[in-house]
Every structure is written in structure tokens, then in C-alpha cells.
Amino acid sequence: MFPLSAIIRLCVALRIHPNALTAIGVVINVAAAWALGLGWFKTGGGIIIVANIFDFIDGKVARELQEATKFGGFFDSVMDRFSDISLFVGLIYLYAEKGRTDYVIVTALAMMFSIMTSYTRARAESLITKCKVGFLERPERIVLFMIGAFTNRMAAAMWVILVLSIFTVTDRIYFTWRELNGGIKVEDELEHRLAEIRLSTPRRAGHR
């Protein structure tokens, strides 16, 4: 994409350290959280886009500058959590200001399960090779924040983040348990039963 590749080339030419780009992304996300906290959703949505440009380019700049390190990956992941949490805190502040404890709870739970989504994968991958299951990962979460902000439907977006994060965390716990125990996959069992039923069902005359 032209504008992004131009930004990447500029950062490479200026030899901006990728970790600095990551840190700038967090600061911009805090600004987005501030805007959300004040109820300026469209401004917040716009700032989230800018913040995520930094999040998108830091890895690419690191590779271009041949400065991709394990610490860089670790730092990026940790800063992503700060960015995510700050957006949720902005919304919690907004709902608290409006006296809406119900949405304070919904947003706080969405934040809790969003953090657990990342934690379960990180912890699982210290025990098993890969744990990339579940629908709601960070890109989906950020897009939901943007949709909620730009279309003024943040409450619905929070419900979606909460419910799908609960599923994702549960999925990761189940997947890790299954991988560690070598147990039978429930979906394999269901598919096997479906295949058995198909085979045992007599075909109607004339039915091909």
C-alpha cells in the first residue's frame, strides 16, 4: 500500500528505532483513550487508526533496518497490552462519568477477557507449540473499537468483544488441555458420528 510503504521508507531513511515507533504508538493510543473518555468517538476512532499505523509499521521497519530482535517482539507485545487496556480505561471513565455502572462492568469484563485472550496464548505456547485458536484476536478487537467509535455503537461493540473474548479464552484453555492430554477431539467425534449416520441412511429409490 503506497502511503504505508512511504511512511516505512521515511522511517527507515531517518533510521527511527522500531521500539521508538512502538512506544509512539502507545502514546497515541493513550490519546485515543482520552478522546473516548470524553465521548469524542469519531476523534478517538481517527486517533486509533493513526496509532495502529505505528503498530503496523514497527515490525516492518525493524526488518528493513535489520534490527528485528526477540526483545523487540516482546516489547511490542507488552506495549500492545498497554494500548488495549488504555482504550478500555477511557471507555470505563466515560461510562462511570455517565453513571452507567452496568456498562462499567461490561467494559471491565471485556478488558479482563481481552487481556486473558493474550495471556492464555502466551502461557499455552510455553507448554505447546502453537495455540492460535479462537476468533477474537487483537486485530479484530481494534477493528471493533473503530466500528463502535465511527458508527457510534460502542455499547454493541463492547458486548461483542466481551462475548467473543470469553469464547476465545475458553477455546484456548480447552485446546491447550486437549493438546497436553492427547484427548479425543469432540468435533472429530461429532464428524465421525455424522459420517456413520450418512452411511447407515438408506438411499431413496431414484435418488442419486
Q: Which stretch binds another protein (CB under 8 A): 54-62, 72-80, 81-89, 170-178?
A: 170-178
Q: What is the DSSP letter of 140?
A: H
Among 1, 14, 201, 205, binds another protein (CB under 8 A): 201
Site membership for another protein, residue 108 (CB under 8 A): no
> Are the C-beta atoms of 57 and 21 separated by less than 8 Å?
yes
Site membership for another protein, residue 88 (CB under 8 A): no
Nearer to another protein, 180 or 186 (CB): 186
Site membership for another protein, residue 154 (CB under 8 A): yes
Q: State the residue for C-alpha cell 466500528.
A: 147
Amino acid at the residue 23: A
Binding mask 14-43 for another protein (x = CB under 8 A): -------------------------x-x--
Task: Write phi, then psi, for 178 (nearest 5 degrees).
Answer: -65, -45
Closest-CA residue to 127 (of 77, 173, 185, 184)? 173
User: CB within 8 A of 16, min separation 6: which ones?
Assistant: 61
Site membership for another protein, residue 167 (CB under 8 A): yes
What is the CA angle 47-51-57, rounded to 5? 145
Binding residues for another protein, rule: CB under 8 A, are 39, 41, 94-95, 98, 100, 102-103, 133-135, 144, 147-148, 151-157, 159-160, 164, 167-168, 170-171, 174-175, 186-187, 190-191, 193-194, 197-198, 201
